[in-house]
Amino acid sequence: MTAAPRTLHERIRRRGARTALPRAVARAFRIPLLLVATALLRRRMRSIRSIEEAVALAYEFSFCGISIGPWQEKSEILSLLRSIEASKPATLLEIGTSNGGSLFLFARVAAPDALLVSVDLPRGEFGGGYPRWRSILYQSFAKPGQRIRLLRADSHASQTKNAARAALEGRPVDFLFIDGDHTYEGVKQDFEMYGPLVRPGGLIAFHDIVPERPGGPRPLHEDDLQGGAVPEFWAEIRDTHNVSEYVEDWGSGRFGIGAVRVSSPEAATALTHGGG
């Protein structure tokens, strides 16, 4: 196996100046650019007066290639945000950080003193794996008084669940958003591991519940499976639980959000074991 080129000179020789130089410049300036992008975003955050304005900012913000656009259908995430805004969740847990757009929006509708924890697998195959340097940007999403804690780890690992509990300071979760591993086993495991952390009356939401349509629109990333097996898992639980669905078009072949309301402590456990 050939070792990866380590110096700029080696990279230029191996890849050619036309490819290596722009990448080297981008690496050299990414932190200064990130700091400028973060400052610009925080300035614009101060002018937000509604959920609609927050959603618009999330989708349109971009500075030198740094953006936070959610991998969501705009109308669907807006409907979800409206449904949770009134309750002002104080403790939120997200599985799947990716581009940061959902985390940004959840912070906008959370309580002024909310604690938000987001878990993402570095180099994950379902749109995740943000580089560590973007953590600066994600931390800036917090309003004054809020706290954001980021865990770059495999949500299926027992040590990650322990770390999430520690980050949550033992507090029950008001809102859980599952948008990580899209395989059937993966989404089921996230549900079973983290669902019991949600308090009675809390909400568990899943992204990508719309079944893929053969010949339908391509994913935003060619290697992204979009819904994967999430629609299959959602179909198993939707008829036996108190659910809401936020879907722009069931025939689109992608996206869609499904939410489950936890009614009691017993229900929180039953949810993850096939109970009603």
Within 8 A by CB and 6+ apart from 148, the residues are 103, 107, 116, 117, 118, 138, 139, 141, 142
pLDDT at 13: 54
Q: What is the CA radius of gyration of the chain?
A: 20
| Rounded-to-10 torsion of CA 265, 268, 271, 274 | -50
101: tokens are 């757009």
Measured CA to CA, the distance from residue 188 to residue 194 in angstroms comes to 10
Successive 10-residue mean pLDDT values, the chain, 276 residues: 49 53 64 94 96 98 94 96 95 95 98 97 68 94 98 95 97 97 95 96 96 60 58 93 94 94 62 50
pLDDT at 2: 43
- pLDDT confidence of residue 227: 52
In DSSP notation, the chain reads -PPPP-SHHHHHHHH-HHHHHHHHHHHHHHHHHHHHHHHHHHHHHTT--SHHHHHHHHHH-EETTEE---SS-HHHHHHHHHHHHTT--SEEEEE--TTSHHHHHHHHHS-TT-EEEEEE-TT-SSS----GGGHHHHHTTPPTT-EEEEEES-TTSHHHHHHHHHHTTTPPEEEEEE-S--SHHHHHHHHHHHGGGEEEEEEEEEE--SPP-TT-PPPSSTT--TTTTHHHHHHHHTTSS-EEEE-S-TTSSS--EEEEE--SHHHHHHHTTT--
50-271 has which CATH code? 3.40.50.150
Cβ atoms of residues 191 and 93 within 8 Å: no
- Per-residue confidence (pLDDT) for residue 219, from 0 to 100: 44
Q: Which residue ranges does the chain devote to CATH 3.40.50.150?
A: 50-271
